[in-house]
Amino acid sequence: MKPNVLAKKIVFFVGIVLVWQIVDMANVWPDKIFPSPLEVGENLWYGASDGTLFYGIGTSLWRLAIGLAIAIAGGIILGVFMARVETVNQTIGSIALGLQSIPSVAWSPLAIVWFGLTDAGIIFVTIAGAIFSVTINTYTGVKNINPDYIAAAQNMGAKGGQLITKVLIPAAFPYMISGFKQGWAFAWRGVIGAELLFSFLGLGFLLNVGRQLSDVSQVIAMMLVIMIIGIVIDGLIFKKLEDKVMSRWGLR
Amino acid sequence: MAKLEAKNIVKYFDHDGQQLKALGGINLTVEQGDFICLVGPSGCGKSTFLRIIAGLQTPEEGQILLDNRPILNTGPDRILVFQEGALFPWLKVRDNVEFGLKIAGIPESERHEISQRYLDMMDLTKFANSYTYQLSTGMRQRVAIARALVMDPEVLLMDEPFAALDAQTRDTLLVEMQMIWQKTKKTIIFVTHSVSEATVLGNKVAVFTHRPSTIKKIVNIENKRPRLSEDETLIKYQQEILAELRPEVKSKGDEQ
């Protein structure tokens, strides 16, 4: 990051905390519903020192990882078949867009009925929230492959599984990455949303505990953690992956 | 014995819902070791004909015989070099060249040995680890040719591979292509819209009519190699071919 960009960011964040502190000191609202930055920091510190915060982060990330992995694998398979088999496109394809528009958390009631208040239920919500983004982007990617790539590969003897793994998926990858990015964001919302409703461990659960105890500093602290994890995962994993693929293809 | 025979190939195009007869019964015999160039007015279906030989399109009528056996499908015994190369941007140059060998399940060490031979032949060794976007158009076509040659096809099919190149690069590749042909003794079918390119490369030049196209003439060119595009001895062949082509291009103009 360039020094002046970094400087702008630091000034921006320090500014936010300062304004927050000033509003708090003006005593417009009682501390109970509008905690100071210091109180939020204290909450994070307590959570870190007794380990509950890390346990919550670990639980949520674990659920995210399993759910997202299944969603990506399943979404790629569905997307490739939608693009290559007309019947699959006419059937599953016709509802994929509709399914994608269902917010992940809306799958929770069904998940509770089917799986009870378990990890499996939360992971189900995660998968359901993410899989159709991956499916649709994979489908678009495979549909947009330069037909000469496929013809050349078939001409050199590629068919069936080899054609899929060695040509269709790598050729569609720039599109698929958009699906992964979108899918991961939906998956993360799904995990937190489901944890809120299931009230069964994880960051969403800690957020809910904060509300139940009327501890607004905990609510804000957990929201900050959820946001920071979002920024970190997007920047460390998906942005890197995207940059790598785009530069390899000479697209940037 | 004929290496490859096209028997009465008929192909229709779908043009705005209309069935347009593109190939009107093509008959062609290609001998082992021929370097045959196909020229014709644009839109006459010569590239389609090449794809039919490759097995990438199916004709409505007629059949292609390779070594007297009808071809049923596409396959590595007839490798097509595409106009734009169709190299895979997700693979390095070496992996592009080795793609077909990998599909065929050839072990890595053997693959490397074969690809290295053709990377050397095409002067690509120092680009082996580059991605294709890092190469010039001319270099990309070299990779495409290397990728085709590693498959050791019975027939090499080339669809206007030099059309997008600048004049100097094309001249270099025209000479190299002749050397490759002499060295590998491949049977080559080469589609081009350039009459001069056809006379430089081909020992035979087949002239297509306007669609529904047939082959109206085959010109034999026995001049010694390597030929250059400025060779004066080629001019009479070019005149002969152009005289055949001119009425075909004109009849297309009438239609439009």
Structure tokens at B194: 């350039």
Dihedral over Cα of A79, A80, A86, A88: its sign: negative
Distance CA A172, CA A57 (A): 33
- Put residue B85 in one of left, alpha, beta given phi > 0 → left and psi -120 to 50 → alpha: left
Contact between A173 and A49 (Cβ < 8 Å): no
Give contacts of A153 with chain B, Cβ < 8 Å: 99, 103
Predicted confidence at residue B251, as pLDDT, reads 64
Burial call A225-252: b when 16+ CB within 10 Å, e when fewer: bbeebeeebbeeebeeebeebeebbeee
CB contact under 8 A, A171 and B88: yes
Q: Note whether A155 contacts B131, CB cutoff 8 Å.
A: no
Q: Quick check: helix, strand or coil at residue B22?
A: strand
Asked whether the CA dihedral B85, B90, B93, B96 is positive or negative, the reply is negative
Q: What is the pLDDT of residue B252?
A: 55
Q: Which of A146, A157, A245 sits opposite B103 (nearest CB)?
A: A157
Q: Which two structure tokens, joined as six digits, stand for A164?
A: 């899929």
On the CB side of A90, CA atoms within 13 Å amount to 3
Q: What CA–CA distance (Å, rounded) separates B188 from B101?
A: 21
Tell me which chain A residue has its CA closest to the CA of residue B144.
Answer: A152
The residues, ordered by sequence, that sit 6+ positions from A118 with a Cβ below 8 Å of its Cβ are A200
What pLDDT score was predicted for residue B104?
95
Give the closest of B55, B102, B133 to A250, CB-based: B133
Q: Which helix (H) or strand (E) holds A220?
A: helix A216-233
Contact A249 B131 (CB under 8 A): yes
CA distance A67 to A167: 26
Nearest CA in chain B to A165: B103
**Residue type (1 letter), B52:** I
Q: Which residues of B are less than 8 Å from A148 in CB distance?
A: 82, 84, 86
What local confidence, expressed as pLDDT, does residue B256 receive?
Answer: 42
pLDDT for residue A156: 96
Contacts of B133 in chain A (CB under 8 A): 249-250
Q: Is A162 on the interface with B (CB under 8 A)?
A: yes
Nearest residue, CB atoms, B89 vs list A162, A166, A250? A250
Residue type, position B51, single letter: R
Residue B191 near residue B38, CB atoms below 8 Å? yes
Give the pLDDT of residue A150: 96
List C-alpha distances in Å: A145 to A88, A89, B37, B97, B123: 19, 17, 30, 20, 29
Note whether A158 contacts B103, CB cutoff 8 Å. yes
Give the per-residue pLDDT at A250: 81
**Residue of chain A with shortest Cα separation from B75:** A155
Architecture of domain A36-248 in CATH?
Answer: Orthogonal Bundle (1.10)
DSSP conformational letter for B165: S
Torsional sign, CA A26, A32, A33, A39 = positive
Domains in chain B (CATH in brackets) are 2-77+154-255 (3.40.50.300), 89-152 (no CATH)
Task: Delimit the domains of chain A by residue range.
Answer: 36-248
Which residues of chain B lie closer than 8 angstroms to A146, CB-CB? 86
The structure's pTM equals 0.89
| Rounded CA separation B55/B68 (Å) | 16
Q: Going by C-beta distance under 8 Å and a sequence separation of 6 or more, which residues neighbour residue A207? A: A192, A195, A196, A218, A219, A222, A223, A226
Q: Residue B162 to residues A243, B17, B73, B114, B175: CA-CA distances in angstroms?
A: 32, 33, 27, 25, 12
Tokens matching residue B198:
């056809």
B131 interaction partners in chain A (CB closer than 8 Å) = 248-250
B76–A contact, CB cutoff 8 A: yes
Helix (H, G, I), strand (E, B) or coil at A27: coil
Q: Which of A155, A158, A170 sits opposite B54 (nearest CB)?
A: A155
Low-confidence ranges of chain B (pLDDT < 50): 255-256
ipTM above 0.90, yes or no: yes
CB count within 10 Å of CB A121 equals 22
CB contact B46 to A (< 8 Å): no
Locate tokens 């500093």: which residue?
A217
Residue A176 CA, chain-centre distance (Å), reads 15
Interface check for B202 against chain A (CB to CB < 8 A): the answer is no
Each residue's pLDDT tens digit, A86-126: 998 988 888 988 998 899 899 999 999 999 999 999 999 99
> Under 8 Å CB-to-CB from A13, ≥6 apart: which residues?
none
Going by the DSSP 8-state scheme, the letter that residue B193 receives in this structure is: S
Q: Name the closest residue on chain B to residue A149, using Cα atoms.
A: B86
Answer whether B205's CB lies under 8 Å from B219's CB. yes
Q: How far apart are CA A140 and CA A138, in angstroms?
A: 5
Beta-bridge mates of residue B219: B205
Q: What share of chain B is helix, strand, coil (3-state, %, to 5)?
A: 40, 25, 35
Contact of B134 with B126, CB cutoff 8 Å:
no
Stretches where chain A sits below pLDDT 70 are none
